[in-house]
Amino acid sequence: MARSETRQPASFDLDDPSVRVADQIPASELEIEVSPEAQKKKFQTDSSPKAKTTSQEMKPTQAVSSMHLTARFSRWGGVLLSSLGVLASLAAGLAATELVESLFARADWLGWVAVGFAALAALALIAIVTREVMSLSRLRKLGRIRDEATRAARDGSEHDARMVIAKLKQLYRGRTDCSWQLTRLADAAPGIFDAADLMKISERILMKDLDDRAKAEIAQTAKRVSVVTAVSPAALIDIGFVLIANLSLMRKLAALYGGRPGTFGMLKLVRMVLTHLALTGGIALGDSLLQQIFGHGVAARLSARLGEGVLNGLFTSRIGLAALEVCRPLPFTHLPTPAIKDLMSEVVRPGS
Amino acid sequence: MKLTDIWDETRLVLDGIAAYAGETLEPTIRLGVTGLSGAGKTVFITSLIHNLVSGGRLPLLDAAAEGRLHRAYLRPQPDDNVPRFDYERHIKDIIENRIWPEGTKRISQLRLTLEFEPVGFWGRNIRGGKLNLDIIDYPGEWLLDLPLLNLSYADWSKQTIATSQHAARKQIAKPWHELLEKIDPSAPADEAQARQCAEQFTTYLRKCRGEKFSLNALPPGRFLMPGDLEGSPALTFAPLIINDRQVQDRNSLLAMMERRFESYKSVVVKPFFLDHFARLDRQIILVDALTALNAGPDALQDMETALTDILRCFRPGKNSWLSSILARRVDRILVAATKADHLHHDDHDRLEAIAKRMTVKATERASIAGAQVEALALSAIRATREANVNQNGEDLGLVAGTPVDGQKIGRKRFDGDKETALFPGDLPEDPDHLFEASGKKVKPEKFRFVRFRPPAPEIGPGGQPILPHIRLDRALDFLISDQLL
């Protein structure tokens, strides 16, 4: 920040209208959306190293930002898809118009009924599209908050960190299961002035409980998948079950962290999870390779079906963990990144 | 620096073994809190205890944030011959009377016991969830005495007289110098004359400490902070002008001064070193960089010298299980620039940089020896709020609080009742500028840090008053968090 040389010590009256005391700065000011350009600019200036004693070393897995996950179609593919889309909607519009016209030709009231239903259909379509767009943007927002939080914790200013916290508050506002945490965060945050520390307490206060629930959810699903695979009579049944269980797990995790994906959001989420798995697969494999060989090997010796069950359970936990990392609006900095081994004890434990 | 001989080492080892045996049952951490006079030691300890005992906001102390810290309470201290830190009176001063408590005059101690939920197998089953935190408060001036253990009277006299002839001090030392000229060291010892010398010398030291000249490097420290020894012969000595030609007569003034200097070392310095200082585990050094900045670059440089001397006294190093039996070492040292609430948070980093700059040499040494050293800007009790004002198109970060009666900024004088917002001036981005300016004339009133009254208490959810702070929890986290696992 450039500061002019002439700034001399001075005193001001608190009644002076130009003096704004920090606790009284309107909340709306903290919730300004950062424009994409400003963000880009921030990204560029990012590379300048700024000594910050509190910044934590980033773990390599966290370098997987959502930038990678939103890999785009090639440009021509996009043109093809959108022109096909336009054609399809034109065809649908034409068909509808023709239908209405021919109905009018038969009887006026039939025509009006058709018009009514067409309008209703259009309204529903708009509603669905809006919902999908919102769910997509919510999902994207999670990734964006995570990127900003990573930057703020590394070398951001205190203001950046407060912006992230304001966005988190917006995200979890109105959720009864988060209200206690939000109150605690609001209580603790004003007395802290370091970006990294602010990110630390937000992660610790807001994410702890959500992480635990997410882990329990993953373990539960993995366990169910294992058992069903082990006992199912036909391969087709367990393929179907694994698919459905995994999809619903992803949806639950996204909802837990504030994503609430719709249909397209779900597709996008699946793609993000798969991309994440592809990018971090190597690391995760190294993490639990030994366990896998051992676990699978012994289980498979005992029974082929049991071995498959264990394998499917592992697969589900892997998917779940990837979904967790994709949906979590803050990077794992102070809380430990959950690994397969944290879940395995839960998966293989009898009962419950 | 070698401060101990073989017998001292033996004693420390025996103490260490005894302490280790006791600690397997109840782990204890001895936290030394020091700093030069006016750095805020008493306030720091009071706020630390209050925040732990009455469940203040400590979001950055891991155990507290994770909800593992069940309770903290005061207990009788282990050493019966050390005064107790008068927490109750200090907290009353701050919360009820809204005045700052009286500063540290002598060593004092307090034991705080923390009960927490231990983590992991070892903690849950063997170690248990209790930690005794012994807080030892002592004046930083006493530390300046430790280097005396290696000096002879003649060397000390020469050094002290030489420093008193520096430009910044020459004027203050004038009456004392005049007296020195008149005295003949080889004359027969005369108690009246000795006392006169000591008085003049003490006056000179005191003057150096006035707010205008915040000169810190002033051993012997007991002359400024006499504790209970005021007036005793061990404090009635002063440096003399010594020539090598002088005959050593056992009854001369010189010989008497020398004897007293030696007894000062053996009666005052050594017991402090062995009984308290060498048994510390953790140390926090509070630095009031802002007052030094107020006083100008010379004071700043002086403070740097004093701090380097202080830090040189520590026995830094990593504690292994063996070394914790044989001889304790300070394995974490925190240098904290206090009164960070006098600045807008934009300048906290710069304050931290100044603290770091002042301790850089000593820090390197400690890091090599294996101790962890960190510097941060904190405020044990936050007396201000932050505010902003737009002046000439520039956003000024202000602090708002109630200045202490009689403080001045420019021509304006505060009455101690009205809350006011202040812009204290910008700290330079590069702290080297401040130190380089030493000796040169600086523009007056580049910064002006005004003292604020303690804040009006805020009442917590349980009805108990809450003391707001800045980074006190982070300091605590650095100092004791590894013991709360």
Does pLDDT of B293 surpass 70? yes
| Class in CATH terms, B6-138+276-382+469-483 | alpha beta
Q: Which comes out higher in pLDDT, residue B478 or B319?
A: B478
Judge: A158–B345 Cβ closer than 8 Å, yes or no: yes
Contacts of B481 in chain A (CB under 8 A): none
pLDDT at B245: 60
- The DSSP secondary structure of B202-253, one letter per residue, reads HHHHHHHHSSSS-----S-GGGTS-GGGTTSGGG--------TT----TTBH
Query: Quick one: which of A296, A302, A342 has its CA closest to A318?
Result: A342
Q: List, edge to edge, every strand of the sheet that includes B28-35.
A: B69-75, B108-116, B130-137, B28-35, B282-287, B332-337, B372-377
pLDDT at A66: 45
Structure-token pair, residue B222:
């007991």
The mean pLDDT of B311-327, rounded to a whole number, is 62
CB within 8 Å of B1: residues ≥ 6 apart: B146, B147, B150, B312, B313
The separation between the first and the last C-alpha atoms of chain A, rounded to the nearest angstrom, is 58
Instruction: Assess whether the previous peptide bond of B220 is cis (omega < 30° from 0).
Output: yes
Does pLDDT of A55 surpass 50? no
B425: closest CA of chain A, how far (Å)? 5
Q: Where residue A67 falls among pLDDT bands split at 50, 70, 90?
A: very low
C-alpha B189 chain-centroid distance: 37
Q: Confirm if B56 and B466 have CB atoms less than 8 A apart.
A: yes
Judge: B374–A53 Cβ closer than 8 Å, yes or no: yes
Does pLDDT of B410 surpass 50? yes
Among all chains, which residue has been given the structure tokens 């590379």? Answer: A47
Q: What does the pLDDT look like over A88-113, one tens digit per residue?
A: 989 998 998 899 999 999 988 999 99
Q: Which comes out higher in pLDDT, residue A252 or B430?
A: A252
How buried is residue B482: exposed, middle or buried, by Cβ count under 10 Å (0-12/13-18/19+)? middle
Judge: A14–B400 Cβ closer than 8 Å, yes or no: yes
Among all chains, which residue has been given the structure tokens 């419950």? Answer: A352
pTM metric for this prediction: 0.78
A121: closest CA of chain B, how far (Å)? 52
- Cα separation of A71 and B416, whole Å? 62
The mean pLDDT of A240-255, rounded to a whole number, is 90
- Cα separation of B469 and B479, whole Å? 17
Does pLDDT of A43 surpass 70? no
CB within 8 Å of B401: residues ≥ 6 apart: B341, B383, B384, B385, B419, B420, B422, B452, B453, B455
Does pLDDT of B1 surpass 90? no
Kindly list the distances between the CA atom of residue B441 and the CA atoms of A4, A301, B409, B426, B427, in Å, as whole numbers in the listed order.
21, 86, 20, 18, 17
Does pLDDT of B84 surpass 70? yes
Structure-token pair, residue A68:
């990678």
Judge: B409–A7 Cβ closer than 8 Å, yes or no: no
**With an 8 Å Cβ cutoff, is A26 touching chain B?**
no
- The DSSP secondary structure of A103-129, one letter per residue, reads HHHH-HHHHHHHHHHHHHHHHHHHHHH
Structure-token pair, residue B323:
């070394």
Does pLDDT of A84 surpass 90? yes
- Cα separation of B480 and B217, whole Å? 30
Parts of chain B belonging to CATH 3.40.50.300: 6-138+276-382+469-483
Q: What does the pLDDT look like over B185-229, one tens digit per residue?
A: 778 888 888 888 888 888 888 887 765 555 555 677 788 777 677
Q: Confirm if A318 and A284 have CB atoms less than 8 A apart.
A: yes
Q: Confirm if B161 and B176 have CB atoms less than 8 A apart.
A: no
pLDDT at B54: 87
Closest in B60, B394, B423 to A197, CB measured = B60
pLDDT at B44: 94
Q: Confirm if B327 and B16 have CB atoms less than 8 A apart.
A: yes
Judge: B423–A22 Cβ closer than 8 Å, yes or no: no
> Contacts for B455-462 with beta carbons within 8 Å, 24 or more apart?
B455/B98, B455/B381, B455/B382, B455/B383, B455/B384, B455/B401, B456/B98, B457/B95, B460/B54, B460/B55, B460/B56, B462/B54, B462/B55
Judge: A191–B382 Cβ closer than 8 Å, yes or no: yes
Does pLDDT of A247 surpass 70? yes
Among all chains, which residue has been given the structure tokens 């034109």? Answer: A90
pLDDT at A50: 38
The mean pLDDT of A54-83, rounded to a whole number, is 57
> Among A175-184, B55-64, B362-371, B463-472, whose mean pLDDT is lowest?
B362-371
Mean pLDDT of chain A: 76
pLDDT at B24: 62
- The DSSP secondary structure of A183-202, one letter per residue, reads HHHHHHGGG---HHHHHHHH
Percent of chain B predicted with pLDDT > 70: 88
- Cα separation of A221 and A326, whole Å? 18
Q: Where residue B422 falls among pLDDT bands split at 50, 70, 90?
A: confident
pLDDT at A71: 47
**With an 8 Å Cβ cutoff, is A7 touching chain B?**
yes
Q: Confirm if A337 and A59 have CB atoms less than 8 A apart.
A: yes
Closest in A10, A52, A192 to B59, CB measured = A192
- Cα separation of B376 and B474, whole Å? 9
Q: What does the pLDDT look like over A256-309, one tens digit per residue?
A: 998 878 788 888 888 888 888 777 654 444 445 555 555 556 666 667 777 777
Query: Quick one: which of B390, B383, B377 has its CA closest to B345?
Result: B377
Among all residues of chain B, which has the CA nearest to that of A54?
Answer: B376
- Cα separation of B398 and B391, whole Å? 11
Does pLDDT of A35 surpass 50? no
Judge: B422–A11 Cβ closer than 8 Å, yes or no: yes
Closest in B386, B419, B468 to A14, CB measured = B419
Q: Where residue B42 falls among pLDDT bands split at 50, 70, 90?
A: very high
> Among A235-244, B278-287, B300-309, whose mean pLDDT is lowest?
B300-309
pLDDT at A59: 39
Q: Confirm if A183 and A83 have CB atoms less than 8 A apart.
A: no
Query: Quick one: which of B336, B317, B339 has its CA closest to B374?
Result: B336
Judge: B57–A11 Cβ closer than 8 Å, yes or no: no
pLDDT at A165: 92
Q: What does the pLDDT look like over A201-237, one tens digit per residue?
A: 899 889 988 999 999 999 999 888 888 888 877 778 8
CB within 8 Å of A131: residues ≥ 6 apart: A262
pLDDT at A28: 40
Q: Confirm if B147 and B312 have CB atoms less than 8 A apart.
A: yes
Among all residues of chain B, which has the CA nearest to that of A25?
Answer: B387
Helix (H, G, I), strand (E, B) or coil at A77: helix
Q: Please name the helix (run of DSSP H) or strand (run of DSSP E) that holds residue B73, with its range, or none.
A: strand B69-75
